[in-house]
Amino acid sequence: MSQKALFLDRDGVINHDPGDYTKNLDEFHILDGALETMKEWFDAGYKLVIITNQAGLAKGLYERHDVDRIHQYLMGRCVAMGFRIEECFYCPHHEGTTGRCLCRKPGSLLIEKALHRYGLDASSSLMMGDKPRDVDAAEKAGVRGVLIPVNKGPLRPADLGL
């Protein structure tokens, strides 16, 4: 049996997206029900992987240690609930500041990296995001993309008939 994954955008899917940038842990607010829904996916046999653009790094709005602290906190909350996120991949670039890159969504490099690193099957995996670029990145990597409303939290497996 091939290993399937749920790829998740971060801001607006797992935590509240204030409309600009989540710059530090004090501004990181997990959406109601997001962790419980992520556990449902984990319990259904999906590996969980975060794929997020963090252009605020290139713009100098926050530092890598801020992003790492947020991800450590999120991963700790998941472990406390009995499941895990395999890894949080993020793109630190912004086209206007650092030029084009392959890892910034809608580029698919981070998804492809996770597929390879964890031996994941693209055809049985999916990516949830709140922006068309999330779906575009997924589809470029051969993963089903699911567009969800911003700040509503991830869909449950049953919502997608899985």
Q: What DSSP letter does each residue of 84-114 carry, written as one string?
A: -EEEEEEE---HHHH---SSSTTS-HHHHHH
Q: How many residues does the chain have?
A: 162
Give the residue among 21, 9, 105 at the shortest CA–CA distance from 48. Answer: 9
Tokens found for residue 121 = 């099957």
- Per-residue pLDDT reduced to its tens digit, 64-123: 999 999 999 999 999 999 999 999 999 998 876 665 788 999 999 999 999 999 999 999
Q: CATH classification of 4-160, choosing from 3.90.228.20, 3.40.50.2300, 3.40.50.1000, 3.30.465.10? A: 3.40.50.1000
* Catalytic (active-site) positions: 9, 11
pLDDT over 90 percentage in the chain:
91
Give the residue among 148, 107, 109 at the shortest CA–CA distance from 127. Answer: 148
User: What are the residue ranges spanned by the domains of the chain?
Assistant: 4-160
Number of H helices, E strands in the chain: 5, 5
Give the residue among 92, 82, 5, 19 at the shortest CA–CA distance from 49. Answer: 5
pTM summary value? 0.95
Could you tell me which residues are beta bridge partners of residue 85?
48
DSSP 145: E
